Structure 1
Amino acid sequence: MRMIIFIICFYTLPCFADSIKEVKSCTSEQGEEIQLLSLKTIDGDTLYLKFRNIITGAFIDNPSGSHDFVGDIAFSKCINNSIIFALEYGSPYTKGCLVNGWGNGDKGKNEPEGFCFAERDKPESIWFGKDNILVVIKNKENNGVKDTKYIIYDSNKPDGERSSHIDKLPSNTGYKIFNLK
């Protein structure tokens, strides 16, 4: 319901037009534009994705409930035909997603493809492999749940099992590595 109200307000009320801003626009591997939009409120930013004239919640692990994540934009970047972004939504956590395309989804609907992450530290690099994508987060001062040097999110693992805690990075053979700093 909130998404319908947002869309109606976006296109009909000029007062909302000033508070909705394009944060970043990236081109997918298919050559289509993916836009990250922000609805700025007194509480902070609420993020949305726009693709093929469809607006959906930016946090693709919970697109209908993305309005639950409000905070300050930590970063947004276009990398290797993908968009990665994060929101600081509650000290000390950062929640973000990497969106690398748009597909038909399980139910035949247009849905963003990618995965999300949530940690205390921001990602330091993205590894694009032939069969998977890794988001690498250095576990500074062991801020994570486990006492390891790195936290890795792997696109090939199912939600809930996507993150791994490791002390040594995997071999970088077969990966294109992009540093976020």
Structure 2
Amino acid sequence: MVARVQTVADAGETAPGGVRQAILEMARREIAEHGCSGASVRSIARAAEVDPRLVRHYYGSRENLLWNALSGDRDPLELAARLLRQSASTIGRRAAAAVFAPWEDPATADLQRARMAASLEGTEAVGRLESEFLSQLFGTIAASVSPDRPRLRAALAATHLTGVTVCRYLVGGPLAETDLGELVRGTGAALQRLLTGPLPEQA
């Protein structure tokens, strides 16, 4: 049996929240698989089994659709504040655990992959979401706990965590097979050194 494609005329007959959510979920999957440049309104509509005009009816432009699909409700400043409430001596491990958590959760993993794919592509405004999130998170943390050069330390920490995340969740290989607890401990120790340990002396 062929699934019925929802049209603009159906918008008043069905619960819009369910249709809108289906469109967002399919947009995230398309971005995760093909990047922002490969995620078209038509392909997203086809995956969500709706008329492309319905996608534009709800979201207007393609850029606005992608932004809504990727932005979510994350607040790096709120997360940083929560992490800073506990001891600075363990903040690296706790930051790693907090960032890995939504990747490990099946309910949010697709959204994380979509965000990272967009960030790595770097061709659209929405592609800055993931890099800006980590930069703001570690920028706030470093400003509070780092003994010196907080901007450099924040950049190093964000870059390190991005690399680990890409290798585990997008590329595969040894890190993808590593026990999560072991990965959190190892990554956390590296982040802790970058944020609070001595940096190499300048030549």
Greater fraction of residues in strand: 1
What TM-score comes out, normalization by structure 1 length? 0.30
Q: Which has the higher contact order (CA 8 A, sep 6+)?
A: 2
Greater fraction of residues in helix: 2
What TM-score comes out, normalization by structure 2 length? 0.28
